[in-house]
Structure 1
Amino acid sequence: MTKFLLAVHVLAAIVAIGPVTVAASMFPPAARRVLDDAGDDRASATLHTLHRICRVYAGVGIVVPVFGFATASSLGVLGDAWLIVSIVLTALAAGVLAALILPGQNALTAGDASAGPEATRRLGMYTGLFNLLWATVTVLMIVRPGSTTGV
C-alpha cells in the first residue's frame, strides 16, 4: 500500500504542481504584453488561460499533501525533521499561491487599473518565491536528511 500511496503522491505532484509552476512563471511576461498592447486579443486570451491553469491545478494540487501525509504515515516518518520542514515549506508555498499569486493574477486579468507594471514585477517575485519553495521541498523529498537508504 505504501508504494501505491507514494506513486500517487509523486504523480500528483508532477501533474498538479508542475503546471502551476510553469503557468505562474509565464504569467508576468504575458501580463506585461497585455499591458503594453491592451488591444491584443491573443495576448489577453493567453493571460486568461494561464490564470485558469493556475486556479484549476491549484485545486487539484490538494491531492499532493493528502497523499503525502498518507505516505508519511505508512512509512512512519511523520515526526522526522525533513518531513516537518517540507510540510512547513509546502504550507508556505500554498499560502503564497492562494494569498499573493492568484489574487494578483485575478487583478491583472480583470483589467484592474491599479494593476500595472509594478504589479507584474511583484507577481514575478511571488512566483519566484513559490517556485523556490517547491524546489526546496522536492530536494528534501529526494535527499531526506537522516535517511538510512544510503542516498
Structure 2
Amino acid sequence: MIKVQLAIHVIAVIIAIGPVTVAASMFPRVATRAFADSGDDRDHASLRTLHRICRVYTAVGVVVPVFGIATAKSLGVLSSPWLIVSMVLTAAAAAVLVFVILPRQNFLVAEARVPSIEAVPSLLKRLAIYTGVFNLLWVVVTVLMIVRPGSTTGA
C-alpha cells in the first residue's frame, strides 16, 4: 500500500505542480505582450488559458499533500525534521499561489482589454518575482524529498 501511496503522490506532483509552475512562469511574459500595443486576441486567449491552467491545477494539487502525508505516516517519518520543513515550505508555496499569484493573474486577465492601466508594468514585475519565489519553494521541497537528510537509504 505504501508504494501505491508514494506512486500517487509522485504522479500528482508531476501532473499537478509541473503545469502550475510552467503556466505561472509564462504568465507575466504573455501578459506583457497582451498589454502592449501590439497585443492581439491570441495573447489575450493565451493569458486566459494560462490563468485557467493555474486555477485548475491548483485544485488538483490538493492531492499532493494528502498522499504525501499518508505516505509519510505509513513510513513512520511524519515527525522527521526534513519532512516538517517540506510541509511548511509546501504550505508557503500554496499560500503564495492562492493568495498572491492567482489574485494578481485574475486582475490582469480581467483588465487585459484595458491597456491604459499605469500600474500594470510594476504589477507584472512583482508577479514575476512572486512566481519565482513560488518556483524556488518547490525546488527546495523537491530537493528535500530526494535528499531526505537523515535518511537511511544512503542517498
TM interval, shorter chain, is over 0.9
Q: Which residue of 1 aligns with 2:110?
A: 110
Output the aligned Cα RMSD.
1.2
Gaps of 5+ in 2: none
Letter in 1 for 2:81: A
Structure 1 stretches (4+) deviating beyond 2 angstroms?
A: 112-115
1:129 to 2:137 alignment: no
Letter in 1 for 2:152: T
Q: Secondary structure at the match of 1:110?
A: helix
* Contact persistence 1:107–1:115 (CA under 8 A): no
Q: Which residue of 2 aligns with 1:61?
A: 61
Q: Offset at 1:37?
A: 2.8
**Which aligned pairs between 1:1-151 and structure 2 lie closer than 5 A?**
1-37=1-37, 40-111=40-111, 113=117, 115-151=119-155
TM-score, length basis structure 2: 0.95
Instruction: Give the % identical residues.
Output: 67
For 1:84 and 1:109, locate their aligned partners in 2 and report how far apart those are by CA, in whole Å.
Answer: 36
Gaps of 5+ in 1: none
Q: Offset at 1:50?
A: 0.2
Structure 1 residues 104-141: Cα deviation after superposition (integer angstroms, max 9, x where no partner):
10010000746511111000000000000000000000
TM-score, length basis structure 1: 0.97
